[in-house]
Amino acid sequence: MSDFSEKIFLENLAQTSPFPFKIPVERAEGVWLYGPESGKKRWLDFISGIAVANVGHRHPHVVKAIKDQVDKHLHVMAYGEYVQSPSNLLAEKLTSLLPSTLNCTYLVNSGTEANEAALKLAKRATGRTEIVSFHRSYHGSTHGSLSVSGNEKKKNAFRPLLPDVRFINFNKVEDLEQITERTAGVIVETIQGDAGVRIPDKSYMQALRKRCTETGALLILDEIQCGMGRTGTLFAFEQFEIVPDILTIAKAFGGGMPIGAFISSTERMALLTHNPMLGHITTFGGNPVCAAAALATLQVLTTPGLLEEVEEKGKLIESMIRHPKVKEIRRKGLMFAIDFENEETVKRIVDEALANGVICFWFLSHPASFRIAPPLTITEEEIRHGCSVIRDAIEKA
């Protein structure tokens, strides 16, 4: 039976939906995915594997870092016990790129784990129990992260979830009064991704920061999808001139390898070392191969010129995607949601584009939009090709 057997894929691997894309991927390079049969079939990845391949697939600098580390050692001990070069260098690099109050990194395995740990840290640091989150938010699918996600349809089958979670409206200043001295932490995507790229006002984000400071609630910014250069700055919060108390990152952080992190101050992070000791633990967090890949990814992202080009590339895509059938385009950098009349139209567009070699996708919580989020390294020629295919798909839809 073929290595790319759909029968094995559908019967022996757990499925997430009744309609997977089923693209047979043999290799990937830059913005392209290649099928078997000597790469005769290829697809332009206009979604970066859902905001992961920000530096493209198999970036040579990232691949070299992975290979170099594999020749040294793989996992040697659970996180936090041994001194290892990749995690040391990665933490040092992150500290150099972040505000001084975000100087201590805890490396984990994924975005949802980063958010789970951030919630624990907020409760431990404040001694409070209430978590405030936002309608239409998405923070992951484990129990704690699901508890603070705003999609009720996705949550109902898994209740009961975490108690003492309050939801307020995103980008609505009057709702900020619901953050009080009972609130341990406020978790919010700097830009709501799965809701269909909802971009808050700068004044709102500054009011949110101010309210958290006034009440002593810790502000947790989830940049798992919108971080790592996606919006044109390394971290999206830079554009709002605020600093969180806790930052969570993942997805593109590893350049294609699984790694996440929650980041705060050294003093706050020290609370997880006592009462109880091992207040947060992970076996594979800080895996040396993943840490080496993440360091290389940050080095690529901070190469002069790369992030400066993000906005211009975004403008080009926006200009080429505009069409009478498009209801609205919401964009920050290379993070897009394109609204259509209904979910069925979006599905027809996505399917048609896929049939012609361009991958775009929808949003779980806003299926009447489709997403575009190509690698930041995409060229103008590749943009024009991808947008041409998508415009043709819109016409046919």
* Domain-wise residue ranges, the chain: 6-58+309-396, 72-301
Residues 176-182 have a mean pLDDT of 98
| CATH class label, 72-301 | alpha beta
For residue 197, pLDDT beyond 70 = yes
Look at 35-49, 168-182, 293-307, 313-327 and tell me which has the smallest mean pLDDT. Answer: 35-49
Structure tokens at 340: 């259509």
CA torsion sign for 261, 264, 267, 272 is negative
- Mean pLDDT confidence for 73-98: 98
What is the chain's length? 397
How does 332-351 read in b/e, with b if 16+ C-beta sit within 10 Å? Answer: bbbbbbbbbeeeebbbebbe
Q: If you average pLDDT over residues 164-190, what whole number do you get? A: 98
Q: 215: closest CA among 169, 260, 179, 248?
A: 179
HSE at residue 191, side-chain half, CA atoms within 13 A, is 28
Neighbours of 209 (CB within 10 A): 20
CB-count burial class (<10 Å; 0-12, 13-18, 19+) for 182: middle
Distances in Å between the Cα of 132 and the Cα atoms of 102, 166, 382, 396 are 21, 5, 41, 43
Q: What is the pLDDT of residue 365?
A: 86
Could you tell me which CATH class the domain 6-58+309-396 is placed in? alpha beta
Q: Is the pLDDT of residue 39 over 60?
A: no
Min mean pLDDT across 10-24, 204-218, 223-237, 326-340 is at: 10-24
Q: What is the rounded CA–CA span in Å between residue 140 and residue 222? A: 10
Contacts of 249 (CB under 8 A, 6+ apart): 111, 114, 223, 224, 227, 228, 260, 261, 263
- Rounded Cα distance between 314 and 319, Å, is 9
Q: Is 72-301 in the same CATH topology as 6-58+309-396?
A: no
Cα of first residue to Cα of last residue in the chain, in angstroms, is 37
